[in-house]
Structure 1
Amino acid sequence: MARVLSFDELNGWAADDQSAALSVFAETCDLIEGAEWPQLCALAKQAPNARSFFELFFRPVLIEDGQEPLFTGYFEPELRGSRSQTARYRYPLYRLPPDVVSGAPYLSRQDISDGALAGRDLEIAWVDDPVELFFLQVQGSGRIRLENGSVMRIGYAGHNGRNYRSIGQELIRRGIYDAHQVSAKVIQNWVRRNPVEGDALLNTNPSYVFFRELPSLSADKGPIGAMHRSITPMRTIAVDPKFTPLGAPVWIEKDGAEPLQRLMIAQDTGSAIKGAQRADIFFGSGHFAGDQAGKIRDPGRMIVLMPIQLAYAFEERVEG
């Protein structure tokens, strides 16, 4: 179901700083697919008033698919590591093996953990914490702080063709935690307290992510999102592109202990982000951002801002 709303129906719209969202929108608007977007992109880069720009050229469209709305958070981890294997740094980050076939099942996480890729010269770097490495794979990109103080930026290169399975849900299934207790920090602490069982728990998720080094990405830029450009803390969300065009502005109304009403830009995707009312909020880089992102699992509402003609045509097409 899709329904065109007015801007007056967006809770908190008048209080937001739309200029911050406009600058983020301008970073990737030239990559949005569709004939309606190029002219809007040109106007965005010279618009004197951000709020007026969005209200003049867009209409809010509420898209629903019958699934419950859900907001979660993600971040860019920073791990300690080395380009060479040492006694301390002994857990490898692998580049994409040349024999991976897109969409076809490859070695499982258990296989790779058992050494199936060892000796093939696929290691990009080595880190000191297998739990943080697991969550680096969940996030899909990160920073490796090397021993000399320099930073290696890494991004998603591909995966092993196996479906992601939530280890948080596995802990709930086993009766170790209730649903409201589970967060990334809780999972990390449990795995560290129970190293043998924890290792087995991580391997219940058969999905495995491979990385590539990003030498041209400077330390002050955000990680690369699905649109192949840097994303912005608290203005970028990951969405399901089946429902939300990549690059489109999206108004979010997140409920919960720390409600959030803000104009975001849909610049990323994620394997767990499925549905019209599903979004992952990018919180930034490092441990503090990780702590904040890990607390988020809230209901709410998200509304896509579409070019006027496209908005009404989309509503008519969906309703028809």
Structure 2
Amino acid sequence: MSSNPAPASAGKSRWVPASWDELPGFADDTLYEAWNAWIKSCERPAPAFAPLCREVRQLSIASGEEQRVWMVARLQPYRIESADGNPEGLLTGYYEPLFDAARKPGNGFNVPLYGLPAGYGTRRPWFTRQQIDTLPEAQAALQGRAIAWLRDPLEALALHIQGSGRLRITEPDGSVRLVRLAFAGTNDQPYQSVGRWLLDQGLTRDATWPGIRAWLAQNPTRASELLWANPRYVFFREEPLSPLDANFGPRGAQGVPLTPGRSIAVDRQSIPYGTPVWLASTGPQVQLQRLVLAQDTGSAIVGAVRADFFTGWGPEAGDLAGRLKQNLRLWVLWPR
């Protein structure tokens, strides 16, 4: 009998007991790569997993086979299904953008990235993206709040969509620093896809980032129209990026740094933060069969079998995240 039974349902999902044999690729995963993410989760463990954290830390130097044996002994897999019993879902990807920036506007750097505006929280929702660009009242609240400046409005939009990023900032004295922009808040307006707007307007058949960039290059006078199609706006705070921090992503909703390739964002009404999850996804971009940790969420991550896969940072991670949209199956691994 399990001393820590998992729920038969968790909000939007059903948890169906499964055997370890059901997990695709369980015998082949390089588990030590996921152990770093698990140790991070143990910095702020979910109550059900806190008693296991001492053993998890001890096993960080164990062999993959020893880690596998321990998992089978201590955890029970549960297949995640929607309320109507469907085990199939959707996997997408997200990443941490890396862009060049300047501390002051000029020399082509004219797109601001803002911290929280003056009086933030007194008005809900706050101004839309279009109003931020055009209303004196909104601009006054942001006066002096720019953290840095980018060259490209689509780079700023990418940061707003991902919610965080890294900047190589040129300081006024000419020195260059690598910093992180962390999520600080939003204007509480709904997110709308600019790619979907282009498709709905019949302006393009390619709503990928390269397709959006190509359309904008051909229609530069419509940049504001494109950007204003998404009323949601994100505000940031600057964080130092030490050499140790640089090996991990930003902090997710669980409050711990994300691990490239081993952290996922989930619907917390389906899977609690800090839960180890077996992920299986096969598609045109990549085949994934591996242990991951549920450490984040997102406004678009809704549903039982739904996950956003953290691919890392920089252009290659962004390319993979932008193309990743394929089938998904999930199993939570719950303490016995």
**Could you tell me which amino acid in structure 2 is paired with residue 125 of structure 1?**
A
Please give the per-residue CA displacement for 1:243-273, whole angstroms capped at 9, x wherever unaligned: 1111111111112112211111111111111
Q: 1:144 matched to which residue of 2? A: 167
After superposition, the Cα gap between the structure-2 partners of 1:260 and 1:177, relative to the gap in structure 1 and judged at 3 Å, is farther
Alpha-carbon contact 1:58-1:305 (below 8 Å) kept:
yes
- Cα distance in 2, alignment partners of residues 306 and 98 from structure 1: 44
2:249 is paired with a residue whose SS is coil
RMSD across aligned positions (CA)? 2.0
1:117 to 109, 131, 139: 139
Residue 309 of structure 2 is aligned to residue 281 of structure 1: yes
Q: Percent identity?
A: 39
1:165 to 187, 192, 215: 192
Give how far 1:190 is off. 2.3
2:27 is paired with a residue whose SS is helix
- Cα distance in 2, alignment partners of residues 231 and 80 from structure 1: 22
Give how far 1:216 is off. 5.4
Q: 1:318 matched to which residue of 2? A: none
Q: 2:26 matched to which residue of 1? A: 13
TM-score by length of 2: 0.85
Residue 96 of structure 2 is aligned to residue 76 of structure 1: yes
Unaligned runs of 5+ in 2: 1-13
Q: 2:201 matched to which residue of 1? A: 174
Residue 144 of structure 2 is aligned to residue 127 of structure 1: no
After superposition, the Cα gap between the structure-2 partners of 1:59 and 1:76, relative to the gap in structure 1 and judged at 3 Å, is same
- Cα distance in 2, alignment partners of residues 64 and 75 from structure 1: 26
Q: 1:314 matched to which residue of 2? A: none
Residue 333 of structure 2 is aligned to residue 302 of structure 1: no
- Cα distance in 2, alignment partners of residues 72 and 64 from structure 1: 18
- Superposed counterparts of 1:1-320, under 5 Å: 1-34=14-47, 36-47=48-59, 48=62, 49-65=66-82, 66=84, 69-101=89-121, 104-114=124-134, 116-117=138-139, 120-147=143-170, 148-178=175-205, 181-215=206-240, 217=242, 218-257=245-284, 258-308=286-336
1:61 is paired with a residue whose SS is strand
**How many equivalent residue pairs?**
305
After superposition, the Cα gap between the structure-2 partners of 1:98 and 1:57, relative to the gap in structure 1 and judged at 3 Å, is farther
- Cα distance in 2, alignment partners of residues 77 and 43 from structure 1: 35
Unaligned runs of 5+ in 1: 309-320
Give how far 1:278 is off. 1.0
Please give the per-residue CA displacement for 1:46-97, whole angstroms capped at 9, x wherever unaligned: 1232212221211122222257611111111111111111141111111012
**Could you tell me which amino acid in structure 2 is paired with residue 19 of structure 1?**
Y
**Most deviating of 264-273 and 57-66:** 57-66
Alpha-carbon contact 1:223-1:231 (below 8 Å) kept:
yes
1:74 is paired with a residue whose SS is strand
- Cα distance in 1, alignment partners of residues 230 and 275 from structure 2: 32
Give how far 1:10 is off. 0.7
Give how far 1:103 is off. 9.1
- Cα distance in 1, alignment partners of residues 40 and 29 from structure 2: 19
**Could you tell me which amino acid in structure 2 is paired with residue 291 of structure 1?**
D
TM-score by length of 1: 0.89
Give how far 1:124 is off. 0.7
- Cα distance in 2, alignment partners of residues 139 and 192 from structure 1: 22
**Could you tell me which amino acid in structure 1 is paired with residue 276 of structure 2?**
P
Give how far 1:177 is off. 4.3
**Most deviating of 115-124 and 21-30:** 115-124
Give how far 1:208 is off. 0.5
Give how far 1:202 is off. 1.7
Q: 1:317 matched to which residue of 2? A: none
Give how far 1:42 is off. 1.4
Alpha-carbon contact 2:251-2:258 (below 8 Å) kept:
yes
Give how far 1:222 is off. 2.2
Alpha-carbon contact 1:30-1:37 (below 8 Å) kept:
no
**Could you tell me which amino acid in structure 1 is paired with residue 317 of structure 2?**
A
**Most deviating of 264-273 and 211-220:** 211-220
**Could you tell me which amino acid in structure 2 is paired with residue 189 of structure 1?**
A
Alpha-carbon contact 1:91-1:130 (below 8 Å) kept:
yes
Alpha-carbon contact 1:32-1:245 (below 8 Å) kept:
no
- Cα distance in 1, alignment partners of residues 300 and 184 from structure 2: 17
- Cα distance in 2, alignment partners of residues 200 and 174 from structure 1: 12
- Cα distance in 2, alignment partners of residues 154 and 215 from structure 1: 9
**Could you tell me which amino acid in structure 1 is paired with residue 259 of structure 2?**
T
Give how far 1:44 is off. 0.6
2:156 is paired with a residue whose SS is helix
Give how far 1:102 is off. 8.3
